[in-house]
Amino acid sequence: MRIKNFDEDKHILYLVATPIGNLSEMSPRAIEILNSVDVIGCEDTRVSKQLLNNFNISKKLISCHEHNEEQASLELLKYLENGNIAYISDAGYPGISDPGHRLLAKVLDNNYKVSVVSGASAMLNALIGSGLDTTHFYFHGFLASKHSARIHELEELKSKKETLIFYESPHRIGDTLNDLREVFGNRKATLARELTKRFEEYIREDLDYLCNIDISTLKGEMVLIIEGNKNEEIVTEKVLLDYAKKLLSNGINTKTAAKLTAKHFKVSKNDVYDLIIKG
């Protein structure tokens, strides 16, 4: 279906990006759009009220977050019958490691229009500032919080050639760095934190270096940028078995370990399974 958003100024959901720390990055267009719509859906009304007050925007807010997005979307949808609505998350782009996607899906299902208003993005600032290759990149967002699930995810990502981007929080950064080091080996890596804020910092080093930093100095919001896989490994039975054993020692079961090993080295799952069983 071909849709022209601005032929008629009605029935549009604006997904508006908001600053990730520095209020000066709120764009004039974002302010104009938020002032123009009938209602604003938001992740957390307290956070959004504060943001909107800074720009003297006074609008009805409807809370629409991870746990009520289904229901709140229906309420927001009603306003599209005759007018326009906007959605903002707490920071950055809605729908990127933030709610917004289910609302957008409902809006599209109902043949209304969607337009995205550009703004700050933590992952792009971090990637571009990292100095690592930006030709091809892969955004993963947050890794699983459980150790074995995280190892499983990293195993799936290990062979990717693209530069990898992860979001992380300060209380898990130590564990995540150690898991990255364990699964990926040493690679160039950048930790970018407090982007656009007064204490913005880029640590452009490698995983060994990052794993040895005093964690208490890594405060605030952060993004990890990891170099893609540059190795061409020679695959012997020993290489396969060592790889599978590492997975097993991290609590991953035999069948899954065989599957992940096979996927990583692009060999047969049954062959790897037999190797593991033979020991």
Q: Which residues bind ligand SAM (CB under 6 A)?
A: 20-21, 89, 91-93, 96-98, 121-123, 167-169, 192-197, 221-223
Amino acid sitting at position 131: G
Cβ-based nearer residue to ligand SAM, 99 or 228: 99
Provide the pairing of β-strand 137-142 with 188-193.
unpaired
Report the nearest approach of ligand SAM to the CB of residue 189 (Å). 15
- Nearest Cα to Cα of residue 130 among 198, 201, 195, 192: 192
The smaller minimum CB distance to ligand SAM, of residues 43 and 155, is found at: 43
- Rounded least distance, CB 18 to ligand SAM, Å: 9
State the residue number with the nearest CB to ligand SAM: 92
First-to-last C-alpha distance (Å) of the chain:
56
Q: Which is nearer to ligand SAM, 25 or 38 (CB)?
A: 25
Nearer to ligand SAM, 97 or 159 (CB): 97
The percent of the chain in helix, strand and coil, each rounded to the nearest 5, is: 40, 20, 40
How near is the Cβ of 208 to ligand SAM at its closest, in Å?
A: 22
- Least distance in Å: CB of 19 to ligand SAM? 9
Sequence-distant (6+) residues with CB within 8 A of 58 are: 52
| Whole-angstrom distance, CA of residue 118 vs CA of residue 99 | 17
